[in-house]
Every structure is written in structure tokens, then in C-alpha cells.
Amino acid sequence: MVRIAANRLSAAVEYRATQNEIAQERWFASPRDIDDLTVGAIGSNRSLDQLQKKSEYLERVMSGAVQLYLYQPDRDRIVEMIGNPSASTTNSVTYVPGTFSNQYSFYTGEVQQVGSWLNGQDPNMVVFVWHGGEFPGQRPGTTQVDGLLAANEAPLALKTGGGLAAFQKEVATDPHLTSARHDAIAHSWGLATTTASELKGARYDNVVSLSGAWMPPGGEGQSNTAYSHYTYTDFLTVAKDLDLVDAGNVPDTNPAFTKPLGDPIPTHGDWTLTLPTSSSPYAGSEPVRIPMNTGMLKLWLTLGLL
């Protein structure tokens, strides 16, 4: 694709700039004697680690191992494409991560687990991991409290959802994807911007909520879209039960969403789950044992089986 090739060139330019930043960080992080005074580490080890992860990621982009559909690092916009659109593509999936996601979430591989697993199960599925607008808590200097408060603001979700809608419309017109099913998988705050994108004109065959947070005013679901919600008990669940999350417009109680698992998912230990094939296109037929201590995303990627 032309976009992928162009972003590979953009990645090469960014890679060279990143190498210069790494060199500067290492220089500042090295103690130096000036007039018999030792100047300690001025640089940030965390910053250096982030830059190194970014460098490694961009090397994979330049080699073709990672495909970027969109890459504007100065605007913190990045969309990774997993899989290759073709005449045999059956499903185009847009995965939207949650609160505090940013471009560094891609560099560490944090947000691609669901998409990589899905494509690994079915190579005829193409997954776009989308971060094409402002997410809560991504601005420098933002505290966790600031991010959580921003995650409950409808104007931000609608603004970012507008960008997602534009992206989704573009994907739907791709010659290789026009006959494919178009689905969305949204984690946490990602559901707010995904359902906001519907208000801005986006259309999906399926919307899967992975512990999705809430929907903006008017987000009641589209008549030709199937909605399902998988959840677990945590702080967000409690907040939703107390109507502290967007005045109660949440997938736990919204009638558009089915809850294939019934009760909230337990938060400890291993458990065995059989997903019925009839209730959701994202359900498997075999029992699945999930070790919960391997992280929430590994849980969700298992639930995401097509």
C-alpha cells in the first residue's frame, strides 16, 4: 500500500532524529567533571528507555515487520495495521485502546496484543490498532487524576470520535476491504470514542466492549450493529454502579449490549470459559483456561476470538 510505504520513509526520518535524542540523553546522563565539580545525571533514565523502545520499534517499521497506516509522532497520532488487505480479507477490525494510551504504548507493544492474536488466529482478518486523536491522560505532565477526569468528558470523546469516524470511512472504501465485515473492539475509554464515532457517521457490523467505560449522550447503538460487552470487577465497575460514569450511560446496563458471560469476570486465579458460537461472532467453541495474572489484555485477546 502507498500509505505503508510512505510511512516507512517517515519512520526512517524519525529514526534518525531519535538516534540524535538518544545520544544527547546518554551524554547528559554521564557524570562529568567541570571545574572540579561533578555534574550528575541530568537526563532521564525513563526518557532514555522510551527513546530506545521507540528506536527499536522504528527499526521494525523500516524492515517491514511493522506496518504503519498512519504515523504523525509530532501529533501523537499512530495507526498500526496488522495483516495484509487482499481479496480474501473477511474482516477489518479497528481496535481502540483506553485511557492513558499514547504513541509509546505502541513502541512497547502494549496495545497490539489483541490485534496480533486475532490475525494469528485468522490471517484473513486485518486489524487496525488506532490512536488517531487525543486520548485522556496522554498530554505531558498530566496526572492520573487528570486523565481519569478527562476520560469522563463527552466533548473529548466526541472530538476524538470524529477522527475515528473519518478513518473508518476511509477504510470502508479501500478496494480490498469493501466486501469485508467492519468491526470495532474497544477497551475501557476506547468505547467512548468508538460509540462517539458512530454519532459522527461511522458504521460497524459489530462493536465489542472490553470492559468499556461509557457512551456519549445519544449513543444508544445502531440498528444494524451487534453489540457485546465483556467486563470484570474493578474500580471502573464500582464507579459505573454508582452512576459516576457519564450519568449511567454505560454498556453494563445499555440494552443495546449483550453480556455473553453474564456475571462480571473474576479478578483472580484461573478459570475455564466456554464461549457460545451463536451469541457473538467473537466467540469460540472450545473451553479456554485463562491465567488472570498474565494481564488483562491477554484475557481480552482470548475473548476476541473470531
Q: Which pLDDT belongs to residue 29?
A: 67
Helices (H), 208-295: 235-241
30's grid cell = 554521564
Give CA angle at 270 (105, 230), nearest 5°.
55
Q: How many residues does the chain have?
A: 306
Q: Which of 115, 112, 161 is nearest to 135 (CA)?
A: 161
Q: Which pLDDT belongs to residue 161?
A: 96
Q: Which pLDDT belongs to residue 235?
A: 46
Q: Give the HSE-up count for residue 296: Cα atoms under 13 Å, Cβ half-sphere.
A: 17
Q: Which pLDDT belongs to residue 166?
A: 97
Q: Do 12 and 5 contact (CB within 8 A), yes or no?
A: no
Q: Which pLDDT belongs to residue 58?
A: 98
Mean pLDDT for each 10-residue chunk of the chain (306 residues)?
92 96 81 45 62 96 97 93 94 93 91 90 94 83 70 89 96 92 93 96 94 87 90 51 56 84 44 36 35 36 37
Q: Cα–Cα distance between 147 and 136 in angstroms, integer?
A: 5
- The angle, 0 to 180 degrees and rounded to 10, between the axes of the packed helices 113-121 and 296-303 is 30
Q: Which pLDDT belongs to residue 2?
A: 86
Q: Which pLDDT belongs to residue 232?
A: 62
> Three-state DSSP class for 77?
strand
Q: Which pLDDT belongs to residue 35?
A: 46
Q: Please write the tens of the pLDDT for every residue from 86-142.
A: 999 999 999 999 888 889 999 999 899 889 988 998 999 999 999 999 898 776 666
Q: Does the pTM of the predicted model rise above 0.85?
A: no
